[in-house]
Amino acid sequence: MARQKNEVIIIGGGIAAHTAALYAARAELKPIVLQAASPDQLSLTTVVENFPGFPEGILGTQLVENAKKQAQKFGAQYVLAQADSFDIKKDYFEIVAGKEVYQALTVIIATGAAARRLDVPGEDKYFGRGVSTCATCDAAFYRDREAVVVGGGDSAMEETLALYKFAKKVTIIHRKNEFKASKIMQERVFSLKDKIEIIWGTEITEVLGDGQFVTGLKLKNIKTDEMSEIKTNGLFLAIGHIPNTKIFINKIQLDELGYIVTDKKSHINVNGVFAAGDCQDHIFRQAITSAGSGCQAAMEAERYIEKLKADGKV
């Protein structure tokens, strides 16, 4: 195994990682970005209309690709490799990715989170063509159309409220007979009876489509096993996210949902390690907030390295 020493290693391949790489590269920290093969969240969306600076909108894939190119332009080096392990050494950090061992004075974790999927037929086929994980991003496409939200937590309520502004009808499908969302969010949804229908105790067994876009869903009543179908133009998955933080378990502080605990400056509970993007944010999960936290993490990493140098530690 070869060993490489670096000032900054960034783990991730989404907008948070690219932004951190851009800032770190411009600060001449020569960042190495370990990018896994699996796509980031933005690359799974279609048009992004809420990233400032793109009045006509921009494809999620394009936005991420542009950010990566911009970071590379200033010298960020990308390695297509999945980080398999992370270890805290005495005065550096060690990451094994593929066959390589990487050592770094600072690490920026931007590993993202994956939206939980239903794992039913049709879900993958129509992903991005009616199946979505972000109403904030896609709700405007549902003007005068119908949409279904699946889930019973705060995200499901939020997705419903975002869609309500545009869609002519929003149906929430939940497997239980009550929501787990906070009361205030539930009440907001319950108060909008005109365009919102709730189907309780029901699971989605298949996403139906015409080959191009979603046209409906197959449903099963959990109590009676009765099967039915409904028509819809879209399905919004709001059944939780899974942060990609497995390799950090028992190494750094994670919250009860597995998200990395950060402070306002993107610091975590280990000096020299910073976290950005969805792996540390289950509330906003937006491209712009991810990019912002990537910027913060890189600026703090730069400060940390400067201090190490000033103290004569490196």
Which amino acids are annotated catalytic? 134, 137-138
Shortest distance, CB of residue 118 to ligand NDP, whole angstroms? Answer: 6
Contacts of 220 (CB under 8 A, 6+ apart): 202, 203, 205, 226, 227, 228
Nearer to ligand NDP, 118 or 137 (CB): 118
Shortest distance, CB of residue 56 to ligand NDP, whole angstroms? Answer: 29
Nearer to ligand NDP, 40 or 159 (CB): 159
Shortest distance, CB of residue 259 to ligand NDP, whole angstroms? Answer: 9
Shortest distance, CB of residue 170 to ligand NDP, whole angstroms? Answer: 16
Nearer to ligand NDP, 176 or 265 (CB): 176
Nearer to ligand NDP, 138 or 302 (CB): 138
Contacts of 115 (CB under 8 A, 6+ apart): 41, 133, 237, 239, 240, 241
The two structure tokens encoding residue 150: 């699946």
- Tokens 């699996």 locate to 38
Shortest-Cβ-distance residue relative to ligand NDP: 153
Q: How far is 153 from 59, CA to CA, in rounded Å?
A: 28
Q: How far is 22 from 16, CA to CA, in rounded Å?
A: 10
Nearer to ligand NDP, 145 or 175 (CB): 175
Strands 169-173 and 214-221, by their bridges, are: unpaired
Shortest distance, CB of residue 220 to ligand NDP, whole angstroms? Answer: 11
Residues that bind ligand NDP in the complex, under the rule CB under 6 A: 116, 118, 150-156, 158, 175-176, 180, 238-241, 282-283
Return the amino acid letter for 138. Answer: D
Kindly state the helix (H) or strand (E) to which residue 166 belongs, with its residue range: none
DSSP output for 28-78: T---EEEE-SSPPSGGGSSEE--STT-TT-EEHHHHHHHHHHHHHHTT-EE
